[in-house]
Structure 1
Amino acid sequence: MAHEKYNELLQALHECMAACNHCYDACLQEEDMQMMANCIRLDRECADICGYLEQAIARNSAFVGQLAKVCAEICEACGQECQKHTHEHCQRCAQACLNCSEACKRVA
């Protein structure tokens, strides 16, 4: 199967998507949700692109490299935003996003 060569990336994508979804939900519970608005927005975008890239790999898309490049950019932006917040969920999300960004760059 063609997607077997992407095992490391698939793992990073899945971990990032899960961390972003958790962070998104946790940010919605924070007292100052307005302060978390950009984090929430990027969590959604990042989780969505990670999920989409996972699907593209599974169906052996010809666009995996291009999608990985875009995914790396979004993951990096989300990771940088999450790093700005001291909440534990944001810090875990930041690490997952930055790890995923690096994995995407290796494929892009």
Structure 2
Amino acid sequence: MHQMSAEMQSCIDECLRCYQTCLGMASNHCLPAGGKHTEPEHFRLMLACAEICRTSAHFMLLGTPAHKHTCRACAEVCEACAKSCEQVGDMQDCVDQCRRCAETCRKMAG
């Protein structure tokens, strides 16, 4: 079994947290709030962000070098999601978590 670096473990943690935050907030915050919280572009982005975060964590756990690609995509989607959540407003938890995840994913993407 390959030894996982502390940096990779930290990225996995941030990705899983971001997955949980985006999916949880989409379902339990945005859906009930309605209005701009459920506009298709914003809502799709939150779901896409959750999914790429989950996939990125999965690839790192598998130990495949392809994690560089998923991490790069993940960083981009997280940044876009943070921006969208900022514009919608009242979503600071999501904004902060997406930015943290984007930062660790950029490092892992090399």
- TM-score normalised over the length of structure 1: 0.88
User: Contact between 1:13 and 1:54, CA under 8 Å: does it hold in 2?
Assistant: yes
Matched residues in 2 for 1:10 and 1:54: separation? 5
User: Contact between 2:14 and 2:101, CA under 8 Å: does it hold in 1?
Assistant: yes
Partner in structure 1 of residue 15 of structure 2? 13
Match status 1:92 vs 2:93: yes
Partner in structure 1 of residue 76 of structure 2? 73
For residues 29-56 of structure 1, the C-alpha deviation after alignment (integer angstroms, 9 at most, x for no partner) is: 1141576432211110000001111111
User: Contact between 2:37 and 2:43, CA under 8 Å: does it hold in 1?
Assistant: no
The code of the aligned residue for 1:61 comes to T
Sequence identity percentage: 25
Matched residues in 2 for 1:7 and 1:36: separation? 34
Partner in structure 2 of residue 28 of structure 1? 31
Matched residues in 2 for 1:24 and 1:2: separation? 35
**Stretch moving more, 18-27 or 32-41:** 32-41
- Secondary structure, aligned partner of 1:29: helix
Partner in structure 1 of residue 103 of structure 2? 102
Matched residues in 2 for 1:34 and 1:102: separation? 25
Matched residues in 2 for 1:96 and 1:12: separation? 8
CA RMSD, 1 decimal: 1.7
**How many correspondences in the alignment?**
106
CA distance 1:80–1:7, shift in 2 (3 Å)? same
User: Contact between 1:24 and 1:39, CA under 8 Å: does it hold in 2?
Assistant: no
Match status 1:63 vs 2:63: no
User: Contact between 2:30 and 2:37, CA under 8 Å: does it hold in 1?
Assistant: no
Gaps spanning 5+ residues in structure 1: where?
Answer: none
- Secondary structure, aligned partner of 1:62: coil
